[in-house]
Amino acid sequence: MVEHKAQPAGLSGGFWTVTAILTALSIAAIVFWSIFPLEKYLPAAIITARQVDLLFRFMAASGSALWIFVAGYLLYFSIAFRARATDPPDAIGLQVHDNHKLEFWWTVIPALFVVLLSIVSVRIWYQVMLEPENGIVVQAIGHQFYFSFRYPQINGEVTDEMHLPRDVPVTLNLTSADVIHGFWVPAMRLKNDTVPGLVTTIKFTPIRDGRYPIICTQFCGVLHSEMDKQYLVIEEKPAFDAWFKKWQEKNAHASNALPSAGGGAVALQGGNASAGKALFAQKCSACHKVAPFSQTLVGPGLAGVLHDPSHPNLVNNQPATPQNVAGILQNGFTGSMGTMPNATANGLSRQDIANLVAFLDSLK
């Protein structure tokens, strides 16, 4: 019978050779990510794109270096400590535990790294969030299956490209007319979802002329893959002004009504109050009580929404009429109390809205 001999615990010279090779490879990877000409392949269209690239380079460099060490040692150890032909079949590998020095360092080094990564990302996040907002305000609205854009002083919607003047700070408000879409311009390194009933804001300053694709990043329906055909055009102020004037004229008589799921006013005749009552319990009672206005849950109490003399106007300041309540149910509303979701978010058909209004109208 072969005698069991414990393998020596020390690290051989091979280990230090491998360590030297892995260190050299890691340094090469770090140098590669530091000098790689990212902007040659993906232009940086706004100031903060460079900050995001910096974060990306930092993560790619440290991730590559770490991966080279982990994968390199894994390979080396599996060769150095492999089972030999002379080992007995029940031989077990070298057992190491309670090595306090090792445990200390493999806790401290990753912890320090995560702290460093947080500091770098929070600083960059601040720069991205604290862009100035004294420039132009634009709205982008996701639709199945395109984006539309609204500008102050242009009626209605711009539906082909989104133009912006170079070097002017932009506040971009995002929302959706139907389902959740994602607004992503790779050249900006910024991305945000467009959510029905919610307005989210991104701020940035364009710095580079060009035509950059806008891509939807949420699977929003059967033609989602078509939502990469529109462009963000950044250009000099005079070119932008000419484009702006063209749309002002083109849209001179366009409607400013916000698009809504289904569009148009809901026909209220034919609403069934008892169907509305059942639906209310199912879809509204999480946020609304059937009680006076002041009895707030998430939204106000709705018992007197149509017939309370002390509640002449709805939260959107329109008179409390069945048609205006239907408008809120269809389009949603965000006010001081929070957000009332729109018909798409609440999953309401036009008949559902008519039934709910009939129910609310029946409350005295």
Q: Considering beta carbons, is residue 187 or 315 the nearer one to ligand HEC?
A: 315
Verify binding: residue 148, ligand HEC, rule CB under 6 A.
no
Cα–chain center distance at 215: 13
Q: Considering beta carbons, is residue 29 or 315 the nearer one to ligand HEC?
A: 315
Q: Within positions 218 to 257, which residues make up the interface with Cu ion, using CB under 5 A?
A: 220, 227
Q: Within positions 276 to 305, which residues make up the interface with ligand HEC, using CB under 6 A?
A: 283-284, 286-288, 293, 298-300, 302, 305
Verify binding: residue 311, Cu ion, rule CB under 5 A.
no
CB of 345 vs ligand HEC, minimal distance in Å: 8
Q: Considering beta carbons, is residue 220 or 306 the nearer one to Cu ion?
A: 220
| CA dihedral (356, 357, 360, 364) positive or negative | negative
Binding characters for Cu ion, 176-205, by CB under 5 A (x = yes): -----x------------------------
CB of 294 vs ligand HEC, minimal distance in Å: 10
Which distant-in-sequence residues (6+ apart) come within 8 Å of 95 by Cβ? none
**Distance between start and end Cα atoms, the chain:** 96
**From 13, 310, 336, 364, residue interacting with ligand HEC (rule: CB under 6 A):** 336
Q: Is 14 helix (H, G, I), strand (E, B) or coil?
A: helix
Which distant-in-sequence residues (6+ apart) come within 8 Å of 306 by Cβ? 320, 321, 322, 325, 360, 361, 363
Verify binding: residue 314, ligand HEC, rule CB under 6 A.
yes
CB of 81 vs Cu ion, minimal distance in Å: 52
CB of 73 vs ligand HEC, minimal distance in Å: 52
Q: Considering beta carbons, is residue 195 or 232 the nearer one to ligand HEC?
A: 195
Given Cu ion, ligand HEC, none, residue 150, with its beta carbon under 5 to 8 Å by kind, binds none
Count the residues of the shown chain that bind ligand HEC, applying the rule CB under 6 A. Answer: 27
Residue 172 region by backbone torsions, left for phi larger than 0, else alpha for psi between -120 and 50, else beta: beta
Verify binding: residue 333, ligand HEC, rule CB under 6 A.
yes
Backbone angles phi, psi at 351, to 5 degrees: -65, -40
Distance CA 4, CA 89 (A): 11
Which one-letter DSSP state was computed for residue 245? H
Which distant-in-sequence residues (6+ apart) come within 8 Å of 326 by Cβ? 265, 266, 268, 353, 354, 357
Given ligand HEC, Cu ion, none, residue 220, with its beta carbon under 5 to 8 Å by kind, binds Cu ion
Q: How many residues does the chain have?
A: 364
Distance CA 172, CA 136 (A): 8
Q: Within positions 203 to 222, which residues make up the interface with Cu ion, using CB under 5 A?
A: 216, 220
Q: Considering beta carbons, is residue 124 or 356 the nearer one to ligand HEC?
A: 356
Given Cu ion, ligand HEC, none, residue 325, with its beta carbon under 5 to 8 Å by kind, binds ligand HEC
Please, where are the H alpha helices in the chain? 13-35, 38-41, 47-80, 100-129, 237-250, 273-283, 322-331, 343-346, 350-362
Q: Where on the chain is the footprint of Cu ion (CB under 5 A)?
A: 181, 216, 220, 227
Q: Where on the chain is the footprint of ligand HEC (CB under 6 A)?
A: 283-284, 286-288, 293, 298-300, 302, 305, 314-315, 325, 328-329, 333, 335-341, 346, 348, 356
